[in-house]
Amino acid sequence: MITKEEKKDKKPISVELKEKERIDDLQRNGYQIIQNPEKFCFGMDAVLLSGFARVKPGARVLDMGTGTGIIPILLEGKTKASHLTGLEIQEESADMARRSVLLNHLEEKIDIVTGDIKEAGNLFQAASFDVVTCNPPYMIGQHGIANPDAPKAIARHEVLCTLEDVVKNAALLLKPGGNFFMVHRPFRLAEIVMMMTKYKLEPKRMQLVYPYVDKEPNMVLIEGCRGGKPRMTVEKPLIVYKAQNEYTDEIYEIYGY
């Protein structure tokens, strides 16, 4: 049993860890997260998305494909959102996310729903969120998948949902003028812009992420606005490392160090 010390005048919470699970410190507001390294742990892409997303005070936020709940927890610590919901199809991950919410005394601010992105329109009321975020599977098809049902395969490959499923349901659930934030891979950028335009999530802001200043970008952060007018701002490149194992100042700022 892992006991979290009393925080914000609330009683200590005892959270049971299952086999091979661990608790990681998020270095923000004292928050922690439960993960199983043999299943799937959050990466830098989730952290960068939480830094890229703009959430106004009082906003209602949905994170689609939330995994172990990293993005709602980080956004709760960084913003003044009124409520955040994480949607996750894998019950094992959703269960870890719920226990992390309890661990951080955030049950009044964050709820985790087990469900399919493709069925999001049936799970939530249309046009009920101000912000939708998503760190979706990047890879197309079955290439390199040893076990299509494995948690890592589901998180990385379009096994259970496609890019179109993500964009279509984000558009359905966003209020007019609401914002969609996603992290993806640059090699699919043309498809991403086309799909967002198709579902009237007008691309408004984009940032390419480079591992080093002299390397090709390996991530793209993009924002769309439901029903927005055509005009997109391309922000300056985000460089992750300035030397081997040494983050740039921008990355330290995003992480909150």
* 115 within a domain of the structure (yes/no): yes
pLDDT single digits (tens) 187-232 = 999 999 999 999 999 999 999 999 999 999 999 999 999 999 999 9
Report the CATH number that the domain containing residue 95 is assigned in CATH: 3.40.50.150
**Is residue 103 within 8 Å of 13, Cβ to Cβ?**
yes
**Is residue 257 within 8 Å of 246, Cβ to Cβ?**
no
pLDDT single digits (tens) 45-78 = 999 999 999 999 999 999 999 999 999 999 999 9
Q: Check residue 148 and give its pLDDT.
A: 53
- Label residue 247 by pLDDT band (50, 70, 90): very high
What is the domain range of residue 111?
42-255
Token representation of residue 116? 């399919």
* 3 within a domain of the structure (yes/no): no
Q: How far apart are CA 90 and CA 154, in angstroms?
A: 9
**Is residue 183 within 8 Å of 49, Cβ to Cβ?**
yes
- Label residue 108 by pLDDT band (50, 70, 90): very high
DSSP reduced 3-state for 230: coil
* 29 within a domain of the structure (yes/no): no
* 9 within a domain of the structure (yes/no): no
Paired sense of beta strands 233-234 and 246-247, if any:
unpaired
The answer on pLDDT for 119 being more than 70 is yes
Number of domains in the chain: 1
Higher pLDDT, 18 or 10: 18
* 211 within a domain of the structure (yes/no): yes
- Label residue 10 by pLDDT band (50, 70, 90): low
In whole angstroms, how large is the CA radius of gyration of the chain?
18
